[in-house]
Structure formats: C-alpha cells, structure tokens
Amino acid sequence: MGSAQSAASNPRFATASRAFTKQDLEDLKSLFVSLAAQSQSDSKYISPSIFQGFFGISGPLASRLFDLVSQKRNDGMLTYEDLVISKAVYEKGTRDEIEEFIYELCDVNGDGFLERCDLEAVLDSISDAVFTPKNSQAALSSSKVVMKAFLSATEFSHEVEGKAENCMSLADFRNWCNVIPSARKYLGSLLKLPDTVRPGFQIPHLLHPENLSLESLTLQKEHAWHILGALSQTGAQQWKLVYHSAINGLSFSTFMGSISSVEGPTILVMKDSEGHIYGGYASQPWERHNDFYGDMKSFLFQLYPQASIFRPTGQNNNLQWCAVNFSSDSIPNGIGFGGRANHFGFFLSSSFDQGHSFTCTTFNSPCLSKTNQIRPDVIECWAVLTKEINHDKTELVRGSVLERFKEDRNMLKLVGLANSSE
C-alpha cells in the first residue's frame, strides 16, 4: 500500500520501478529497511555514514555519490524512493544515461565541471577502496605513483571561462573510460551489494616464487587491476609468474621453454631501458608460426608513465606473432603483437636484447615507449590461471625451446636445424 502511494505521488519513482522485477523491488526494500534501521531515523531514511559504510566507499567520492542518490537535496536523508530512482538510472539506464551519471559522479566538488582535482580525488578513492595500501608508507607511495599513470591518460579539452585549467568534457571522459576500463567498472558498480562480485573491486592474486619479493616485480597489483579491466571477471582469479628475466636470463629459448606448458592466456610485461613499462595480453598460447595468429581478445597496454589499454580495432587480424628459427628476413624471429612484420605494435627479437614499437592500426596504439627502438631491462610473463587449467604446469622452469616443442623439433630436423643453438 505504501509503495503504491509513493508511486502515485512520485512519477519518477513510478517510472523507475518499472525497470525492476517485483523480486528486485522487494530486495531493495529489504535493504533499505535494514540500513534505515541502523541510521537511527525511525526507519525513514538512510544516513550518509551508514550508506558509505555499507557500500565500502569513503571520502569525497562517497559524499558525492550520496548527494546524487539522494537527488541533491543536501538534507542527509536517503529515502527508498531515492534508492530506486538512482539505481534505475545508474544500473538500468541506457549507456548514455549511465555514463552521464558517472561523469556527474566524478565531479566530486559538485561545481558542474570535471577538473583534474576531481579526478585525483576519484583515483584516491579507488586506491583506498581497492588496494588499501595503509599498512606501510612504501606501499602507499608506490600506489600513488601508479595512480598518476592513470591520471596521465586523461585529456582536458574543455575550456571554461574563469578556470585556470581546462576541464574534462563528456567526450574526454568517455575516452578515458575506454583506455582505463577498470576505473569505469569500479565507478559503475558502487551501488552493487558488497557481498557480490563487483567489477572494478577485484585484483588477481599474483603468484610468484618466494625468492622474488613483490617489490622486485615489474607488475604490481595496481597494474594487474588495470589490465583486468579489459578481461572478463574469470581473469580475476590467479596470475602466476612463469618467466622472469632476473631468474631465467634474457633468453628467448628459455622464455619459450618456460611458457610452453601454459595452456591459457598469458600477459607479457616489459620494462625497458627508458623506464617505460608496457606489454601485451596474449589470448592464445605462444606457439611457433610463420605468420600472425590469435583472436580479438588480445590487446596491448601501457602501465608507466602512462596507463592505457589498446583493444583490437578489427582493421586486420595481425594479433600475435611467434616466430622461431626462421631464416627469411620476411619472418623476423621473436614475439610480437599487431602491425606488420618488421613494423609491429610491440616486438621483442629472438635475441631478447632489443625490439621495437610503432603506431599500430591493429590496436590503434601509439609507440609504447619513448622511442621506436627499445631495449629490455626486465621481462616478465604471467599465466592467467582458470579453474580449467592445471596450475601445476606453470612453474618457472629452464630449458631449450627445442626440448619443449617436440613437433617443431621434428620439423626442424627436416631442414637441418634441430641441433642449432639459440
């Protein structure tokens, strides 16, 4: 009876209610009653502190979300009707409606303009909610450095009279969400129940040998969160280090031997001599081919000093490259992603001491480093483990590629290369 009266008196609530099933509305009502009972409001409304504590967010972003959900009344009271209306737009609306809501959400100071300081506050909220680096100053400092890389991917093209710096337009914001998909997932799931899988809140568990400290890894948890944004949530389970140049040495044959038993996707991460960090997600196992192969799940990424994801554009199928012991100049030996032979989006030669990166239509990606010619400093390869994959097959191992690729060995014997060294 109460809900019927509310719907009759509030047309927006009536329209929003139609976006949910009867069970959905009953669940929302139960949630509201529970939180309102904790708010010491005679069960009439949810207070800001209870709202923020339940959904696990804090700071300026949490205050801004409460403000939007309570329809900007600034009375500190969130009603059941407010909750239904906001979730209808935020979770059930059109893509444009949802993005406009999130864009407005990121304007944490509420002045109608999305400025750099607003986005910094948003990233601070993500850092606190997802990474909680409060246990040490070193962890906090590391997280801040990575967060600056996410901020570096932004464009502020909107000139506003009276503002010393440009602001971020809605188009700028949409572009940022495309290259930082984890931020978009996080900002789009703040009202989902905390006991459910909330996209953007997940971090893969990084498995690595005990003799390799977390600080010595190139791939940090913030980087993993960033890459995960371009994957389905099944990628949020465990990533296992299967090759590290500090342990295995800069050896292509050892690299291939180490990853030959990985049946699923891998993540190749490189830090070059300029200090830039980038790499590629290989959706298919690394196998010897004389041409490009792979599928549209592969992508390139940057991690530092700027963080971005570059997905396939569909303009060509030049996704993964893995050439071993070919003698033709048209088939460069090494591993790579995108572009074309000898002009890849990202390529490491079989010598493993050099490579290159060029602008690439396959992924619409720029040169990933400071210069086109790159020299590796650290190379890591991580196996993305799923329940279907035998985890025991992905230990860090040493060995020759010719020992690992039996079928290739038989083929190489035919051309007299079976006993050649790396």
Q: Does 154 lie in the same domain as 19?
A: yes
Spatial separation of the C-alpha atoms in residues 84 and 95, rounded to whole Å: 18
Q: Which residue has the tokens 């939180």?
A: 35
Q: Does 232 lie in the same domain as 283?
A: yes
Q: Is the residue at 420 inside a domain?
A: no
The CATH code of the domain that includes 173 is 1.10.238.10
Predicted confidence at residue 142, as pLDDT, reads: 65
Q: Is the residue at 405 inside a domain?
A: yes
Asked if residues 206 and 241 have their Cβ atoms less than 8 Å apart, the reply is yes
Q: Does 214 lie in the same domain as 183?
A: no
Q: Does 109 lie in the same domain as 23?
A: yes
Predicted confidence at residue 261, as pLDDT, reads: 84
Residue 125 exposure: Cα atoms within 13 Å on the Cβ side:
26
CB count in 10 Å sphere of residue 405: 20
Spatial separation of the C-alpha atoms in residues 116 and 110, rounded to whole Å: 13
Predicted confidence at residue 120, as pLDDT, reads: 94
Q: Does 210 lie in the same domain as 106?
A: no
Q: Does 359 lie in the same domain as 211?
A: yes
Q: Is the residue at 293 inside a domain?
A: yes
- Provide the number of structural domains found in the chain: 2
Domain that holds residue 112: 2-187
Tell whether pTM > 0.85: yes
Give, for 321, the enclosing helix (H) or strand (E).
strand 320-323
Q: Does 342 lie in the same domain as 241?
A: yes
Predicted confidence at residue 384, as pLDDT, reads: 93
Residue ranges for the chain with pLDDT beneath 70:
1-9, 133-142, 233-236, 387-422
Q: Which residue has the tokens 């059109």?
A: 94
Predicted confidence at residue 214, as pLDDT, reads: 79
The CA-based dihedral angle spanning residues 108, 114, 120, 123, taken in that order and rounded to the nearest 10 degrees: 70
Q: Is the residue at 196 inside a domain?
A: no
Q: Is the residue at 198 inside a domain?
A: no
CA 223-225-230 angle, to 5 degrees, is: 105
Predicted confidence at residue 95, as pLDDT, reads: 94
Predicted confidence at residue 236, as pLDDT, reads: 64
- Of 187, 117, 176, 186, residue with least CA distance to 150: 176
Could you give the residue ranges of the DSSP H alpha helices within 57-165?
59-69, 80-92, 95-106, 116-126, 137-151
Q: Does 219 lie in the same domain as 170?
A: no
Q: Is the residue at 192 inside a domain?
A: no
Q: Does 177 lie in the same domain as 306?
A: no
Q: Does 236 lie in the same domain as 344?
A: yes
Q: Does 315 lie in the same domain as 179?
A: no
Q: Is the residue at 422 inside a domain?
A: no
Q: Does 210 lie in the same domain as 183?
A: no
Q: Is the residue at 199 inside a domain?
A: no
Predicted confidence at residue 254, as pLDDT, reads: 94
